[in-house]
Amino acid sequence: MARAQRIVAVLYCLLVVYCAIWVPWVANTVNIKDIQQGYGWVWSPPSGVGVPSLAAIATRIVAATALSGVAFLLAREWKVLLFVGFLAGAGILLYRLGADKLAEHQVQRVHDCAVAKVAKAKCTPSVPAGYAPKQGEIDLSSGFEVCDSYVLPDNPTPQQEDAAIAAAEKECTAEMGPKRKAAHQEIEEYKRQHGIKD
């Protein structure tokens, strides 16, 4: 093994360690999976919550292995190796910047949506206008109100505001996720597209 190949092997090992300790983080909710949270050390997630994205880590390690394999084979051609290294470094940097920006943008969109929901939250009467109880029914005409889960009382505390924003963020995250049709709608659409009659 030539000296250049040993250097490539050491750099590959360092790159694999880097890929394993500086990882992309994702958060999962009930309705949406893999919400990008950005990059952070494996022992310290960037937003305090989430799990490492194993698929992204594996992809990075596979890319590092492929790049290092090419570099190992071309180790004696230092000009080609330098060019390939430069391209790979630029690609990794652009990927990281893009992923971080995308994660920040998504988090900001969810937060902005939540702030708007909390600001517009209201309570609505549960009894429709013109309601009159029928014989033997309980009279609900004095009514009660149904409120959004993130409505704030007058003079809310910071904890109440934080709880309202968190509840609204969950709803916003669910709304921004990919929309799925109901199973019945999907079946009907499939039948219609394929000419299947009941």
Residue owning tokens 């590959």: 12
Q: What is the pLDDT of residue 14?
A: 92
Domain assignment of residue 101, yes or no: yes
DSSP state of 153: P
Task: Please tell me which of 4-18, 130-144, 181-195 the model is most confident about, judged by mean pLDDT.
Answer: 4-18
Choice between 184 and 98, residue whose per-residue pLDDT is larger: 98
State yes or no: pLDDT of 192 exceeds 70.
yes
Give the mean pLDDT of 69-77.
78
Q: What is the pLDDT of residue 17?
A: 92
Domain assignment of residue 181, yes or no: yes
User: What is the reported pTM?
Assistant: 0.45
State yes or no: pLDDT of 140 exceeds 80.
no
Q: What is the pLDDT of residue 70?
A: 80
**Averaged pLDDT of the chain:** 79
State yes or no: pLDDT of 18 exceeds 60.
yes
Choice between 5 and 198, residue whose per-residue pLDDT is larger: 5
Joined tokens for residue 144: 């009660």
Q: What is the pLDDT of residue 7?
A: 85
Strand partners, 25: 38, 52
pLDDT classification of 128: cutoffs 50, 70, 90: low
Q: In degrees to the nearest 10, what's the CA dihedral of 26, 13, 89, 1?
A: -160
Strand partners, 39: 24
Domain assignment of residue 140, yes or no: no
Domain assignment of residue 131, yes or no: no
Report the helix count and the strand count for the chain, using DSSP H and E: 5, 5
Q: What is the pLDDT of residue 13?
A: 92
Query: Positive or negative, the Cα torsion across 169, 175, 178, 181?
Result: positive
Domain assignment of residue 134, yes or no: no
- The phi and psi torsions of 181 (rounded to 5 degrees) equal -75, 160
Strand ranges (E), the chain: 22-27, 35-41, 51-52, 123-125, 145-147
In angstroms, the CA 134 to CA 180 distance is 40
Give the mean pLDDT of 154-169.
88
In angstroms, the CA 61 to CA 140 distance is 64
- Domain range enclosing 112: 1-123+146-198
Q: What is the pLDDT of residue 48?
A: 63
Domain assignment of residue 118, yes or no: yes
Q: What is the pLDDT of residue 137?
A: 67
Give the mean pLDDT of 61-85.
79
Choice between 76 and 89, residue whose per-residue pLDDT is larger: 89
Domain assignment of residue 62, yes or no: yes
- Total domains in the chain come to 1
In angstroms, the CA 15 to CA 77 distance is 21
Domain assignment of residue 102, yes or no: yes
